[in-house]
Chains A and B, each alone.
Chain A
């Protein structure tokens, strides 16, 4: 039975893809709770499985993908048991809506902006076409489109990238979802627009009280928006905790690397820190900790056995042998030790 606080529960989830006859595993043994009205950020390098994980929540895995193990529960519905699109139609949009990275291509190029919003209003809010138009215009205003009445009849190509992402958000809102999955919604936008979109999402969440899963490969983006952060590496969650815990008390060396490569930490004249090496291929069997080959603190055990999830606090878990009693005490890199300080300075500068 599901915990009342949670809206979505994932247990031991594996997702695999059929690729040229062999099966690769993109998500490995992930367990996760999503609390009502929270904002959970999922962070990780590209290819770490963030999109695949959330696609599994809405039945939008590609044809060659399937949930090979584990369960996903949404309220009373066991999502991992849903098979055909007909069953998913009740979940998608109305319960869980997703907005994607590229606002330039997310809208149908040959229908007007307005019709794409009211289409959803008619469907999910059961309104007449005329009412839907008014609701759509209100939504456009709410998402910060000036001159909404006039721009209702324009086409996507007449909108800038930031404006289109606002429309995409308006459409998602028109569904009245309980959970909004934002899959890198700001990655394709430039920095000032990014900040505006983040603010917009926060405002709308305060008003409409939905739960957010916010995917990004940029830890810097989530600091301002997330309640909790899950860090993914190679198809696994390797550390999860509150925003505070991840930023100021992270335990996994991979999280440390991510933090160290925050552009905000780059000192003048110094190169931006990047994580050496590349993530492991999904086609090779991994023994031990997947991050070990790139980990400067790796111990011999890291190459032999996969670490379990160690509990740091009630809300904070990390998957690294460094948390084992027998492991030597290792200091976090100096660069991120006084991260708090940096972040404060940064916000002060803004």
Chain B
């Protein structure tokens, strides 16, 4: 069992790696990189200033990991470290060129000059494997008391301690770490949180320029909100600071106000925002939709199979057929109209915002209903197959009543694949929510992938592929583990081959 699980998890990681790598390769080698600028208005504006244009483009490529690029200033600074007598102006003297070329030869760069000023710059195309290496190399960041390297702060203490912090209560507190609070608790699901392991999926560009990809996907959104912090001794503070995110900040960047408040070097922090992140929004909608769709389709399919061919089955089949026949777009609009007119529910998410229950009702109910038909058909079919199985025939021949047979045998057997399927359904619902999210203007991640593709935001595309694959693979794994729990055959047979 353990061995099986180990290899299973290993394979899961391998598939995540493969999918992400293949996506990476496709994006970086098959899509021409100049496409990045196809919708960039600045390109037109810079047309008359070739140096600026070149700089702009190369900077962008650099940010997107296509190449390494040093403009004149950066270049000479770099070279100066090795060859102090380099011409700092970066001008196009012969002598200077030879120095720069020598440096370039060693480092793999190419020295070029700008078209009009003729000053030098350096450029190096990144081979694919190196780009990939950087991506995976930076993927996981583990925070330790030696993470912070600040020459201006030689006295920084380095430790990990469990203490009752006045801001966050009991927590694993670090110093010398990047994050102040390594492990902490609060009232947000899943109640225990950590800052030890962080993922870095690169930096978003050109949309959400400069923000880390993960922050774009999982950072909270909306307006900032203040929270009341009780600091003991009757002192309370109202602040929008998200103290859980406190990170190390060097003296040169820190502001006096924050330093005064926190009294340590961990003054770089995020704000509290009122709305869940894009992924959080979609995830919430997905879970609620899942509950709704199962709550409807399981009893419905159960009774349809139970009374197969009778009135209930016929009506049910009619409803399911109708649900399938109506294009989902028409269904969504019709439902939205009815909900808005009859029940006064908001027909757009931002009207009342993520904080209002009403905003969630229609999108989640619609999302749930959209998957009802598929589930009912599948589950009814499964129950009917069970009905015709030999063990049910035998159960009947030994005198069990229909009710007993359904309750004790058929339903239990049929629930195994359902349980297994649940985790997969959630991701399906998140990914399939694009239309619903669009129509209700929900700030979820359904629209993110198409938007990112259109904007040539490679980092976000790869980040999303990575996240979706990870969730997908892990949910299949979770589904299988759940099945092991409910199905004795699998649990025991796996034990048997240990």
Judge if B343 is at the interface, Cβ distance under 8 Å. no
Which one, A105, A110, A112, A120, contacts B412 given CB within 8 A? A110
Judge if B390 is at the interface, Cβ distance under 8 Å. yes
A120 to B400, CA, bound (A): 8
A158-B492 contact, Cβ under 8 Å, with A109-B413, A110-B412, A110-B416: yes
Task: Say whether B489 contacts A97, CB under 8 Å.
Answer: no
A63 to B394, CA, bound (A): 16
Judge if A305 is at the interface, Cβ distance under 8 Å. no
Judge if A264 is at the interface, Cβ distance under 8 Å. no
Judge if B321 is at the interface, Cβ distance under 8 Å. no
A 143-171 to B, binary, CB cutoff 8 A, 1 in contact else 0:
00000000000010110000000001001
- Collect the chain A residues with CB atoms within 8 Å of residue B487's CB: 110
The chain A residue sitting closest to B489, CB to CB, is A157
Task: Say whether B399 contacts A168, CB under 8 Å.
Answer: no
Which one, A85, A112, A172, contacts B401 given CB within 8 A? A85
Q: How far is the CB of A5 from chain B (nearest CB, A)?
A: 26
Task: Say whether A89 contacts B401, CB under 8 Å.
Answer: yes
The chain B residue sitting closest to A92, CB to CB, is B399
Task: Say whether A155 contacts B409, CB under 8 Å.
Answer: no
A293 to B393, CA, bound (A): 36
A86 to B413, CA, bound (A): 24
Q: How far is the CB of A129 from chain B (nearest CB, A)?
A: 14
Task: Say whether B390 contacts A92, CB under 8 Å.
Answer: no
- Collect the chain B residues with CB atoms within 8 Å of residue A86's CB: 401
- Collect the chain B residues with CB atoms within 8 Å of residue A106's CB: 390-391, 393-394
Task: Say whether A123 contacts B396, CB under 8 Å.
Answer: no
Which one, A58, A92, A97, A110, contacts B488 given CB within 8 A? A110
Judge if B389 is at the interface, Cβ distance under 8 Å. yes
- Collect the chain B residues with CB atoms within 8 Å of residue A85's CB: 401-402
Task: Say whether A99 contacts B400, CB under 8 Å.
Answer: no
Judge if A273 is at the interface, Cβ distance under 8 Å. no
Judge if B408 is at the interface, Cβ distance under 8 Å. yes
A155-B400 contact, Cβ under 8 Å, with A102-B390, A106-B391, A107-B391: no
A85 to B306, CA, bound (A): 13
The chain B residue sitting closest to A158, CB to CB, is B492
Q: How far is the CB of B448 from chain A (nearest CB, A)?
A: 41
- Collect the chain A residues with CB atoms within 8 Å of residue B18's CB: none
- Collect the chain B residues with CB atoms within 8 Å of residue A174's CB: 398
Interface residues of B in 385-428 (CB under 8 A from A): 389-391, 393-402, 404, 408-409, 412-413, 416
Task: Say whether B492 contacts A157, CB under 8 Å.
Answer: yes
Which one, A94, A108, A124, contacts B391 given CB within 8 A? A108
Task: Say whether A171 contacts B416, CB under 8 Å.
Answer: no
The chain A residue sitting closest to B388, CB to CB, is A62
A171-B493 contact, Cβ under 8 Å, with A106-B391, A108-B391: no
Task: Say whether A120 contacts B397, CB under 8 Å.
Answer: no
The chain B residue sitting closest to A93, CB to CB, is B399
A60-B396 contact, Cβ under 8 Å, with A100-B390, A105-B391, A109-B489: yes
Q: How far is the CB of B307 from chain A (nearest CB, A)?
A: 12
Judge if A175 is at the interface, Cβ distance under 8 Å. yes
The CB with the most chain A CB atoms within 10 A, among B389, B394, B413, B416, is that of B394
A94-B399 contact, Cβ under 8 Å, with A105-B389, A106-B391, A107-B391: yes
Query: Which size bracket describes the interface of B in this complex?
Result: 20 to 34
Judge if A48 is at the interface, Cβ distance under 8 Å. no
Q: How far is the CB of A77 from chain B (nearest CB, A)?
A: 15
- Collect the chain B residues with CB atoms within 8 Å of residue A158's CB: 492
The CB with the most chain A CB atoms within 10 A, among B309, B398, B401, B489, is that of B398
Task: Say whether A99 contacts B394, CB under 8 Å.
Answer: yes
A98-B489 contact, Cβ under 8 Å, with A107-B391, A108-B413: no
A162 to B373, CA, bound (A): 43
A-B contact count (CB 8 A): 81
A172 to B389, CA, bound (A): 18
Q: How far is the CB of A83 from chain B (nearest CB, A)?
A: 14
A100-B408 contact, Cβ under 8 Å, with A92-B399, A123-B400, A155-B489: no
The chain A residue sitting closest to B412, CB to CB, is A110
A25 to B393, CA, bound (A): 23
Task: Say whether A175 contacts B399, CB under 8 Å.
Answer: yes
The chain A residue sitting closest to B392, CB to CB, is A108
- Collect the chain A residues with CB atoms within 8 Å of residue B413's CB: 108-110
A123-B399 contact, Cβ under 8 Å, with A110-B489, A157-B492: yes
Which one, B402, B409, B493, contacts A111 given CB within 8 A? B409
A172-B395 contact, Cβ under 8 Å, with A109-B489, A110-B488: no
A58 to B471, CA, bound (A): 51
Judge if A119 is at the interface, Cβ distance under 8 Å. yes
Task: Say whether B396 contacts A92, CB under 8 Å.
Answer: yes
Task: Say whether A175 contacts B398, CB under 8 Å.
Answer: yes
A109 to B390, CA, bound (A): 11
A98 to B400, CA, bound (A): 13
- Collect the chain A residues with CB atoms within 8 Å of residue B401's CB: 85-86, 89
Q: How far is the CB of A219 from chain B (nearest CB, A)?
A: 25
Interface residues of A in 40-67 (CB under 8 A from B): 58, 60, 63
A110 to B492, CA, bound (A): 11
A100 to B391, CA, bound (A): 10
The CB with the most chain A CB atoms within 10 A, among B390, B396, B397, B492, is that of B397
The chain B residue sitting closest to A181, CB to CB, is B397
Residues of A within 8 A of B (CB): 58, 60, 63, 85-86, 89, 92-94, 97-100, 102, 105-112, 119-120, 123-124, 155, 157-158, 168, 171-172, 174-175
Can you list 27 A-B contacts with CB-CB less than 8 angstroms, sorted by A residue number?
A60-B396, A63-B309, A85-B401, A86-B401, A89-B399, A92-B396, A92-B399, A97-B398, A99-B397, A100-B393, A100-B397, A105-B389, A106-B390, A106-B394, A107-B391, A107-B394, A110-B488, A110-B489, A111-B408, A112-B488, A120-B399, A120-B400, A155-B488, A155-B489, A158-B492, A171-B394, A175-B398
Residues of B within 8 A of A (CB): 309, 389-391, 393-402, 404, 408-409, 412-413, 416, 486-489, 492-493
- Across chains A and B, which 5 residue pairs bring their CB atoms closest together, nearest first? A93-B399, A105-B390, A98-B397, A106-B394, A92-B399
Known: A120-B400, A123-B400. 19 other contacts (CB 8 A): A89-B399, A93-B398, A93-B399, A93-B400, A98-B397, A100-B394, A105-B389, A106-B391, A107-B394, A108-B391, A108-B395, A109-B413, A112-B488, A119-B408, A124-B399, A155-B488, A155-B489, A155-B492, A171-B394
